[in-house]
Amino acid sequence: MNNHRLDAVHRVFSGRLPRRAAFGRLTRGAAAGLLASVGLKGAGTQHASTQSAAPPAGASAYIVIRRYQLLPDAAMDDLVERVDEGFVSVVSQIPGFQEYLFVDAGNGAHLTISLYDDPSGAEQSTRDAADWAAEAVAELIEGPPEVTTGWVRIHVDADGSMAATPAP
């Protein structure tokens, strides 16, 4: 994982708000993920395709953020190991893949952040995450994730340069 990218993400998420408030804003109002497709009750759906496939001016990537909660008896280290050994290879093979982060937010809460060139990569990532999680980690996670998707409009690298898609 690129530590400069991780530091940049940390600065973006925590620079203006306390960490907990920043994470809350990321997930507030988000629908539950596509784990409903594997039979988990109470899950809603948010499709990445609800936004335009054409990036708005200045967009550098399309992001999907999933917020999960670990079950009380489950171990975060076990989850991290399973994700690293299994899901990372799945998510990184999706066309348009740019980056993947797994964030331990404390108290069993964790976020996954995936960046793709466009919404189709994010949609595939969400489908693949649901399938993989049902097989590999369902006994560790409490219900479906909350999912937020959208175009990245500001992306500042550690060197301060902005990455953006030129306006069409």
CATH number assigned to the domain comprising residue 51 = 3.30.70.100
Evaluate whether residue 143 is within a structural domain: yes
Residue 153: which residues within 8 A CB-CB, separation 6 or more?
A: 56, 58, 59
Residue 155: count of CB within 10 angstroms of its CB: 21
pLDDT of residue 53: 72
Evaluate whether residue 161 is within a structural domain: no
pLDDT of residue 67: 97
Q: Which domain holds residue 137?
A: 3-152
> Could you give the number of structural domains in the chain?
1
- C-alpha 51/C-alpha 36 separation (Å) is 21
pLDDT of residue 163: 57
Residue 76 has pLDDT above 80, yes or no: yes
For the chain, the average pLDDT equals 75
Average pLDDT score over residue span 33-54: 43
pLDDT of residue 15: 39
Burial class, 143, CB count within 10 angstroms (exposed 0-12 / middle 13-18 / buried 19+): middle
Residue 70 has pLDDT above 80, yes or no: yes
User: 99 or 161, which is more confident?
Assistant: 99
Evaluate whether residue 160 is within a structural domain: no
Evaluate whether residue 21 is within a structural domain: yes
Q: In this predicted model, what pLDDT tens digit does every residue of 111-159 receive, in sequence order?
A: 999 999 999 999 999 999 999 999 999 999 999 999 999 999 888 878 7
User: 77 or 5, which is more confident?
Assistant: 77
Are 17 and 24 contacting, i.e. CB atoms less than 8 angstroms apart?
no
- C-alpha 51/C-alpha 158 separation (Å) is 28
Evaluate whether residue 166 is within a structural domain: no
Evaluate whether residue 90 is within a structural domain: yes
Evaluate whether residue 159 is within a structural domain: no
User: 87 or 51, which is more confident?
Assistant: 87
Q: Which two tokens stand for residue 83?
A: 């994700």
pLDDT of residue 161: 62
Closest CA to 131 of 76, 85, 90, 80: 90
pLDDT of residue 121: 94
Evaluate whether residue 41 is within a structural domain: yes
Closest CA to 12 of 128, 143, 119, 160: 160
